[in-house]
Amino acid sequence: MSGREDRPGEGLGTSDPRGVGPGVERQQGVGPGGAEPPSAKADDAGRRAVGGASVRHPATSRGDIVLEGRGITRDYHVSGGFLRGTKVVHAVRGVDFAVPRGKTLAIVGESGCGKSTLARIITLIDPPTSGTLLIEGKPVEISGGRPPRDLRSRVQIVFQNPHGSLNPRQKIGNVLMEPLELNTDLPAAERRDRARGMLEKVGLLPEHFDRYPHMFSGGQRQRIAIARALMVNPAILVLDEPVSALDLSVQAQVLNLLADLQKEFRLTYVFISHDLSVVRHIADEVMVMLRGEVVERGSRDAVFADPQHEYTRTLFAATPVTSLPAIRARVERKAMRREATGQRHPAN
């Protein structure tokens, strides 16, 4: 095992760098209601039902909307089996969203509701069947095949399982430099400098440059995946269950890292998770999906304090919503017990 996960100042005892503990009022909103007159009050304002969904439109001026989706739809044609022809799966059905720069939109919903499909559309991996995606105000042209590389580098994705996305035969330095080789014309020396700089930004060490993925812990591998995503200087990071495979204490560290990076680079996040305690920690706005549709959206505080849609309430009831401070306290108590009994902290 190479190195410890913990960094000074990033441990569990640190306060939330964004100061978004529960109860902190958020001003900024996300949603297609961004065009709402500023006089509308954030909460009651736009509690309106759209197609049976309870949708609260927060009072945000359109401001600097970095990512927007209008009526995004995605159908899959799947084989129904021998002689049964094909059937259509409506994975995403007319989803709207708008995320201001530097903010986090969380997408929640049970498995199969269309979260990853939407993630791939936003990241320009797959085109939508219909609808319009706008990145930094510009509609993405989907008819002409792959979008240009300049546009593709504006949106990057981090998956749940960094094992799958890291080539086991590639040294970390090369993992980080590769996106620059593919997307830029930077000379080799500069690629190397940038990769080393990024290692440090994500809390890894210069000597990690020449190591292989298997030499790292799960949390460290996720740091590498985040570093790789940031190499091309994206505006938007799509995080598809980025901490779901990690231990609780490591989850907290990676979430803190993401919060630091968001602040430093003014990144816009689309954060996908089924874990409401994580969403509560990281989200500015929450969008709840059910069978490909948005059934509720609103500011994190509004949705958590007063969920409007029956499905959101069921989701919340099924998941114990623990705040991050509570998770930290639990992990710290465990660590103290281990210390008292003379056990070593396992490398994470």
Q: How many residues bind ligand ADP (CB under 6 A)?
A: 12
Residue 261 one-letter amino acid? L
* 150/154 Cα distance (integer angstroms): 7
Closest CB 197 distance from Mg ion, rounded Å = 32
Largest Cα separation within the chain, whole Å, is: 66
**79 sits near ligand ADP (criterion: CB under 6 A):** no
Binding flag, residue 99, ligand ADP (CB under 6 A) = no
Q: Name the binder of 78 from Mg ion, ligand ADP, none, CB < 5-8 A by kind.
A: ligand ADP
Asked if 76 is part of the footprint of ligand ADP (rule: CB under 6 A), the reply reads: yes
Out of 21, 51, 63, 112, name the contact with ligand ADP by CB under 6 A.
112
100 is an interface residue for ligand ADP by CB under 6 A: no
- Which residues sit opposite 76 in a β-bridge? 89
Residue 76 interacting partner from Mg ion, ligand ADP, none (CB closer than 5 to 8 Å by kind): ligand ADP
Contacts 24+ apart (CB under 8 A), 329-338: 330/248, 331/12, 331/248, 331/249, 331/252, 332/12, 332/13, 335/12
Residue 165 interacts, among Mg ion, ligand ADP, none and using kind-specific CB cut-offs from 5 to 8 Å, with none
Which amino acid is located at 328 in the chain?
A: R
**Residue 237 pairs with which residues in a beta bridge?**
156, 269
Considering only 104, 116, 251, 268, the residue that binds Mg ion (CB under 5 A) is 116
Q: Which does 28 bind (CB under 5 to 8 A by kind): ligand ADP, Mg ion, none?
A: none
Contact status: 60 vs Mg ion (CB under 5 A): no
Q: Quote the CA–CA distance of 58 and 307 in Å, as a whole number.
A: 15
Q: With residue 138 as reference, give the H or E element that holds it.
A: strand 138-139
**Under the criterion CB under 6 A, does residue 114 sit at the interface with ligand ADP?**
yes
129 binds ligand ADP (CB under 6 A): no
Q: Does 88 bind ligand ADP (CB under 6 A)?
A: no
113, 227, 243, 259: which one binds ligand ADP (CB under 6 A): 113
Residue 117 interacting partner from ligand ADP, Mg ion, none (CB closer than 5 to 8 Å by kind): ligand ADP
Residue 192 · residue 177 · CB < 8 Å: yes
Whole-number minimum distance, CB 346 to Mg ion, in Å? 29
According to DSSP H, which parts of the chain are helical?
115-122, 149-152, 162-165, 172-183, 188-201, 218-230, 248-265, 276-282, 300-305, 310-318, 324-340
Nearer residue to ligand ADP within complex by CB, 109 or 162 = 109
Residue type, 342: G
Q: Tell me which residues touch ligand ADP (CB under 6 A).
A: 76, 78, 89, 91, 109, 111-117
Q: Tell me which residues touch Mg ion (CB under 5 A).
A: 115-116
